[in-house]
Structure 1
Amino acid sequence: MTQSQCTELFQRLAAANPQPTTELRYTTPFELLIAVMLSAQSTDKRVNLVTAQLFALANTPQAILALGEAGLVAAIRSIGLFNSKARHILATCAQLIAEHDGEVPRTRDALEALPGVGRKTANVLLNTLFNEPTIAVDTHIFRVANRTGLARGTTPLAVEQQLLKAVPVLFLQSAHHWLILHGRYICTARRPQCANCIIADLCEWLEKSQLS
């Protein structure tokens, strides 16, 4: 995809959704951290159902630690991988208290040092909480980037690095959310809605012609 096509693509996404944001529900940086940690291999809809109940019980590191592993597992049991997520969340809460006065740190290194927090989660937090021009490549962004020709790569990191080079600076802050939402609702893994896609004419996916 040429630079002018890339610019046009994001101009259209921006016009359709001028202020995109995460669909995870949260009121504090800590709540978003926990929501993102729970979202691995789960849907935002499911996470929001679980966190609505969890945060009513405990929404600070101290309060979640007070629940203990049994209490936390009971609160998040309907989420996939709940046992390992509970252990990571408890360890993260302890580390936040010990090293960051209970606050979510603002640097990549400090975020990725938290148990259960990898590059993708750190990127979400840096972008959504701290307005860093980062892109967290999940399955949706990986699919959209490769299909459209925005950025092709065989790993999330490769796609992330290509996107950071390709996306015009003007759109870099919100690109993460536009691409996720486009992949979630239009450029889906199964039965993508190419006929209803506002960037279909810019997309380089060869199979789209069979779906129009």
Structure 2
Amino acid sequence: MTKKERFDKVFPILEKKFGKAKAALNYETPFQFMIAVILSAQCTDARVNIVTKELFKVVKNPEDIRKMDIKTLEEYIKSTGFFRNKAKNIKLNAQMMKEKYNDKLPRTIEELLVLLGVGRKTTNVILGDLWNIRQGIVVDTHVKRLSNLIGFVESDNPEIIERELMKFVPKKYWFEYSHYLILHGRDKCVARRPKCLECEINKYCKHGQKLINK
């Protein structure tokens, strides 16, 4: 079975299971969403939503962050982990948005990567969620792990994984592919205790078939 043939079997099953792809992070403005994505590094979406529920009462746009003392920002986001570095990046990010983009969030990978705390994974999330722009595939820990287990790639390098996936995943599904694998990684393909016998895609998963055959 080729990678494309495997994808054509797996994707419709996950699409039927999870339905329309949408962000798990809560926000009202594009700038708020970027902050939420930055905070989500090494942190659960559920925890980020708890934190931003209070933070976003006073932060709507970059100007609100520029006016906020960094210690105050750190207190708001403390429970997301690595809060000092995140607060520093968010503050510098807000300043750079004023200097470079007139406080409007840009819509290209190249422009977004200029902002501190915004890596390639973050840019793909922002572009896909906010504007349905597909310039790449989000490769987080779930996508990396599941893409290898299913048999789509053989690499631990996110950039290589993204390039390989883009060869056979249709561009119109780039955002959904990542979204479904993340959800499936939380539901059935859990890192420490994968539920392979219960998994909906086990017939088309290399790892799942190995375990079932044993």
TM-score (norm 1): 0.93
Deviation at 1:210, TM superposition (A): 6.1
Query: Match for residue 99 of structure 1?
Result: 100
Deviation at 1:132, TM superposition (A): 2.3
Deviation at 1:5, TM superposition (A): 2.1
Deviation at 1:125, TM superposition (A): 0.9
Query: Match for residue 18 of structure 2?
Result: 17
Q: Do the aligned residues in 2 keep the contact of 1:193 with 1:211 (CA within 8 Å)? A: no
> What are the within-5 Å matches in structure 2 for residues 12-51 of structure 1?
12-51=13-52
Deviation at 1:63, TM superposition (A): 0.8
Query: Match for residue 72 of structure 1?
Result: 73
Choose 31-40 or 193-202, whichever is displaced more. 193-202
Q: Do the aligned residues in 2 keep the contact of 1:194 with 1:208 (CA within 8 Å)? A: no
Q: Do the aligned residues in 2 keep the contact of 1:9 with 1:202 (CA within 8 Å)? A: yes
Structure 1 distance, partners of 2:101, 2:151, is: 41
Q: Kindly tell me the number of residue pairs found equivalent between the two proteins.
A: 212
Deviation at 1:123, TM superposition (A): 1.2
Query: Match for residue 58 of structure 1?
Result: 59
State the identity as a percent: 39
Deviation at 1:198, TM superposition (A): 1.0
Structure 2: stretches of 5+ with no match in the other structure: none
Cα deviation per residue 1:73-99 (whole Å; 9 max; x = unaligned)? Answer: 111111100001000000001111222
Deviation >4 Å, runs of 4+: none
Structure 2 distance, partners of 1:99, 1:141, is: 32
Deviation at 1:145, TM superposition (A): 0.2
Query: Match for residue 145 of structure 2?
Result: 143
> What are the within-5 Å matches in structure 2 for residues 1-212 of structure 1?
2=2, 3-133=4-134, 134-205=136-207, 209=211
- Look up the equivalent residue of 2:110 and give its one-letter code: D
Structure 1 distance, partners of 2:202, 2:170, is: 19
RMSD: 1.8
Structure 2 distance, partners of 1:147, 1:36, is: 26
Structure 1: stretches of 5+ with no match in the other structure: none
Cα deviation per residue 1:34-78 (whole Å; 9 max; x = unaligned)? Answer: 001111111111111111110012121111121120110111111
Structure 2 distance, partners of 1:172, 1:107, is: 16
